[in-house]
Amino acid sequence: CPVCGDKISGFHYGIFSCESCKGFFKRTIQNKKNYKCLAAAKCDVSLKTRKRCPACRFSKCLSKGMKLEGECHVLDISKKKLAC
């Protein structure tokens, strides 16, 4: 995952990312979160540190190309399953 370094699970919100970052990004948008960094927005975001600073994680999601309006793609037409 370009955001945290975890294993990529698919194409989510415009980039290939892991399930954790996909879920984090989705919750942040849906709940209209407004995170603030306590360390001048210079926090490391990695597999081990991704939960420490949500502000820096969200910022990194955006800088790596995640889009606020998730692009959905049909995975299985017969089941009408979408990937966002």
Q: Domains of the chain: which residue ranges?
A: 10-83
pTM of the model: 0.81
Per residue in 28-84, pLDDT tens? 999 999 999 999 999 999 999 999 999 999 999 999 999 987 555 545 545 555 555
Superfamily of the domain at 10-83: Erythroid Transcription Factor GATA-1, subunit A (3.30.50.10)
| Distances in whole angstroms, Cα of residue 60 to Cα of each of 35, 69, 74, 78 | 13, 16, 26, 35
